[in-house]
């Protein structure tokens, strides 16, 4: 399916609005300093695209396939991003920190297994049943996010911020949480891995 909106292979500082790209195929396009507002990429295949310093606002990318596409300095605000396997994207051998930032987004049922997510921002998001196993999340910010049923196994969470986050389950023996920030009462769940009994 050819998308008339993308008749070039490179775009710089272009604002895209109200694009309807559900189940479409977008291949080999580079976007730099571009913005996407109210665009529908649900079920789309984004193959070998590059998004550098781009912003997505009120967009739907649920079930999108990120086949070999790369993201750097990309921010998502008020977006739906459920069911995305981020491991299918392009992750360079030398990954720049802070490649992704999400604010008030829904990322349910997604996977970041084994990825380099240093300085990731997940602010006030719904992050339900998301896999962070073996991911590098040093200095990540999960503030205000709902992390119900999300997996943290052998995840590097040093200096990560969980203040205001809720419903997380993190085994302190199976994850690196050195100097990570937690807040009460949610931080009490960290004791679950200690096999102790608490009395009020």
Contact 15, 39 (CB under 8 A): no
pLDDT higher than 50, residue 91: yes
Mean pLDDT of 173-199: 74
Contact 121, 97 (CB under 8 A): no
pLDDT higher than 90, residue 15: yes
**Interatomic CA distance for residues 160 and 15, integer angstroms:** 33
**pLDDT tens-digit profile of 53-88?**
999 999 999 999 999 999 999 999 999 999 999 999
Selection from 152, 72, 63 nearest residue 110 by Cα: 63
């Amino acid at each position: 399916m050819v998308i008339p909106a993308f008749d070039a292979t490179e775009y710089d500082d272009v604002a895209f609005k109200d694009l309807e790209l559900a189940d479409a195929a977008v291949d080999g396009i580079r976007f730099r300093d571009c913005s996407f507002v109210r665009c529908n990429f649900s079920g789309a295949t984004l193959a070998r695209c590059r998004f550098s310093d781009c912003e997505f606002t009120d967009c739907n990318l649920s079930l999108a396939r990120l086949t070999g596409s790369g993201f750097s300095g990309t921010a998502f605000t008020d977006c739906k991003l459920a069911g995305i396997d981020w491991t299918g994207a392009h992750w360079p051998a030398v990954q720049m920190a802070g490649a992704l930032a999400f604010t008030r987004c829904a990322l349910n049922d997604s996977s970041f297994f084994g990825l380099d997510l240093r300085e990731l921002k997940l602010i006030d998001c719904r992050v339900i049943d998301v896999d962070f196993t073996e991911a590098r999340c040093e200095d990540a910010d999960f503030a205000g996010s709902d992390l119900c049923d999300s997996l943290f196994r052998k995840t590097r969470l040093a200096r990560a911020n969980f203040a205001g986050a809720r419903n997380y389950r993190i085994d302190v023996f199976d994850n690196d949480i050195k100097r990570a920030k937690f807040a009460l009462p949610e931080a009490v769940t960290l004791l679950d891995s200690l096999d102790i009994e608490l009395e009020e």
